[in-house]
Amino acid sequence: MGIASKPNELEAALRESEQRLRWLASIIDSSDDAIVSKNLDGIIRSWNSGAERIFGYSASEAIGQPITLVIPQDRQSEEREILTRIRRGERIDHFETIRQHKRGNLIVVSLTVSPVKDADDQIVGASKIARDITDQKRSQELIVTLAREAEHRSKNLLANALATVNLSQSNSPEGLKQIIAGRIQALSNVCSLFAATRWIGAELSAIATQELAPYSEITGKRTFIDGPQTMLVPDAAPAIAITLHELATNAAKYGALSTPNGQVRLEWSHAADAPLRLRWIETGGPVAQKPARKGLGSRIIEQMIVQQKGKVNFDWRKDGLVCEITLPV
């Protein structure tokens, strides 16, 4: 019984060992990561389906070839350094580098490389796991870019807000509060438009509609907007919003919108490779008279537009104020 049981035990152990090897081979073959083995000369000995998917070479194309098959020319020295460390028995964990697909496109990978030993505990090669992290790296770079962009835009908006506060004046605290609130609201409206375009910019017609909406009567429209589709970048959009807010506020107090029959027309043109030309035209209001000294609203408009390397011209005509703005966009 004892003699007969030993072959049975050996057969059972062999079957169990074979089963484990099949499981291991199945795990390796079904892995999303590239799992590759190579000898100490850098010649590929095994190549799983994950490697086929990531690098584009089939197992028959890759096995027997040097691992430099997937290493860009300017990174060939990495393989020599890796093999040197493997011969010393070192393990390389999560080494981020660049590898090359069969089609030639570059792939960002995270490598883990371990020594492979034979039955005599001698290092005879290396096993390598490569994880494609190209999309992950792109996402990280995008997050960094967006964070920098958000910081820049935030600082620009805060600078505009600070400028409007510093330039705001009134004869009473309540009047000053209303003036500042109106200008900050104009900036807030632009931010809402930025959110809709993911901070690409703001459409000029949308800015104009927001700023002039309070002055359009239900029974009779008093403001007219006409111009081609024009996307203003986040630096220029707040300047235009504040400018239109100041012009509309002034028209409501002293200009065309202060009388029942007064009207305002806003029109613009923007040809390819040419600056934006915007005209604010008031008609039907009191006779426009050039002020003895430049008003606060005019100073704010000029400061906003000049900061964007633009130009402003005020023309006080008998029919009403005409403001012409030229702005590179």
Q: What is the pLDDT of residues 117-156, one digit of tens each?
A: 998 999 999 999 999 999 888 888 888 877 777 666 666 6
Bridge partners (DSSP) of residue 107 are 99
pLDDT recorded at residue 304: 85
Domains 32-132 and 137-327 share a fold: no
In angstroms, rounded to a whole number, what is the distance separating the alpha carbons of residues 53 and 51? 5
pLDDT at 2 over 60: no
Provide the pLDDT for residue 225.
Answer: 93
* Domain spans, the chain: 32-132, 137-327
CA–CA distance, 51 with 58 (Å, rounded to integer): 8
Backbone φ and ψ of 328, nearest 5° = -70, 130
Q: Do 263 and 224 contact (CB within 8 A), yes or no?
A: yes
Q: What is the DSSP letter of 200?
A: S
pLDDT digits (tens, 9 = 90+) for 166-210: 655 556 677 666 766 777 777 777 777 776 666 678 899 999 998
pLDDT-derived band at 218 (thresholds 50, 70, 90) equals very low
Is the pLDDT assigned to residue 260 strictly greater than 90? no
pLDDT of residue 188: 72
Q: What is the widest separation between alpha-carbon atoms in the chain?
A: 123
Q: How far apart are CA 144 and CA 203, in angstroms?
A: 26
- As a whole number, the mean pLDDT across the chain is 84
Q: Let me know how long the chain is.
A: 329
- The 10 Å CB-count burial string (b at 16+, else e) for 57-95 is beeeebbeeebbebbeeeeeebeeebbeebeeeeebeee
Q: Which fold has domain 32-132?
A: Beta-Lactamase (3.30.450)
53-79 mean pLDDT:
95
Angle between helices 173-196 and 236-253 (to 10 degrees): 140
- Give the global pTM: 0.54
Q: Which residue has the higher pLDDT, 265 or 10?
A: 265
Q: Distance between CA 22 and CA 245 in Å, rounded?
A: 74
Strand 263-269 versus strand 223-226 pairing type:
parallel
Could you confirm whether domain 137-327 is CATH 3.30.565.10? yes
How far apart, in whole angstroms, are the C-alpha atoms of residue 265 and residue 109? 58
